[in-house]
Amino acid sequence: MSGYRPRRPTRGPTPFDLAERDAFAALSAASLDAVRSSAETWRNGLSAFITLVTTGVVIKGRDTTSALPTEWRAALTALIGGGLLVAILGLWQALGAQAGTRPRATTLNAVHSRYGSVAAYKVALANIAAARLRRAQYLVAVALALLLAGIGVTWWAPAESTGDKPVYLKVAHQGRTSCGTLRSADGGMLRLKSPGRHEPAVIPLGDVTNIEVVRSCG
């Protein structure tokens, strides 16, 4: 390196070069404010979106899931809950991009030592905010996919069928228990058709001490 000699430029900067330099400096100076303004817009929209979805889940969630089979209800809960959780994470990232990182004590010497100039420091902060905003946008996309999948589940899930299942009565009378489907209850007699028996069990109503509805007589 001892033989190296700097060379004088063949020509000075043109007016176009100077204009481009000044324009880039202005763009760099405004980059942080621009990113944070965009993050604020995303934060407001995402907050309204989460409020709307959460209100709908609270108001209609029970009515929507009560008629679904257990496995479909679990899938719907995972999709809707996961979508809301991911949306909240996206909101957190948008808040971080809009509000900036945690304040830290710094000095001009520290800024110059790490970034070279205050302008470069502002550009670095803009890059950090832009990265958080991109993560927020990605998380919003994932949240929308999960919530739309949850809506699809409510459209296509079969309703839990209960009409085809017989209702069994378990009747306690005179120290015994009879179980079956109700045939009639008239003339002071209760008639139950027990599984595996042709003739119904006839029980005087005066002897009945307890009646319980059960899923099966097993």
* The predicted structure's pLDDT at residue 151: 78
19 and 106 housed in the same domain: yes
- Whether 135 and 41 map to the same domain: the answer is yes
The verdict on residue 8 lying in a domain is no
Q: In what order do the strands lie in the sheet with 176-186?
A: 201-204, 189-193, 176-186, 168-173, 208-214
pTM for the whole thing? Answer: 0.55
My answer on whether 204 and 142 are in the same domain is no
Is 102 in the same domain as 193?
no
> What is the predicted pLDDT for the residue at 27?
60
pLDDT of residue 132: 84
Residues 92, 126: one domain?
Answer: yes
5 falls within a domain: no
83 and 172 in one domain?
Answer: no
The whole-number pLDDT of residue 22 equals: 62
Q: What is the CATH number of the domain that holds 183?
A: 2.30.30
Kindly state whether residues 111 and 190 are assigned to the same domain.
Answer: no
98 and 62 within one domain: yes
On whether both 100 and 65 belong to a single domain, the answer is: yes
Instruction: Please identify, among 106, 128, 156, the residue that sits at the C-terminal boundary of a domain.
Output: 156
Residue 20: give the domain boundaries: 15-156
Looking at the structure, do residues 105 and 201 belong to the same domain, yes or no? no
201 within some domain: yes
- Asked whether the CA dihedral 190, 193, 194, 197 is positive or negative, the reply is positive
What does the pLDDT profile of the chain (218 residues) look like in tens digits?
556 677 776 776 777 666 666 666 666 666 667 777 777 777 787 777 777 776 666 555 555 666 677 788 888 888 888 888 888 888 888 887 777 655 555 677 777 777 787 777 777 778 888 888 888 888 888 888 888 888 777 777 776 555 556 778 888 888 888 888 888 888 788 888 888 788 888 888 888 888 888 877 86
Domain boundary among 131, 156, 181: 156
| Per-residue H/E/C for 90-105 | HHHHHHHHHHCCCCCC
Residue 101 lies in a domain: yes
136 and 38 within one domain: yes
Q: Is residue 172 part of a domain?
A: yes
Residue ending a domain, among 120, 135, 156, is: 156
pLDDT at 91: 84
Same domain, yes or no: 177 and 145: no
pLDDT of residue 162: 53
Instruction: Please give the tally of structural domains in the chain.
Output: 2
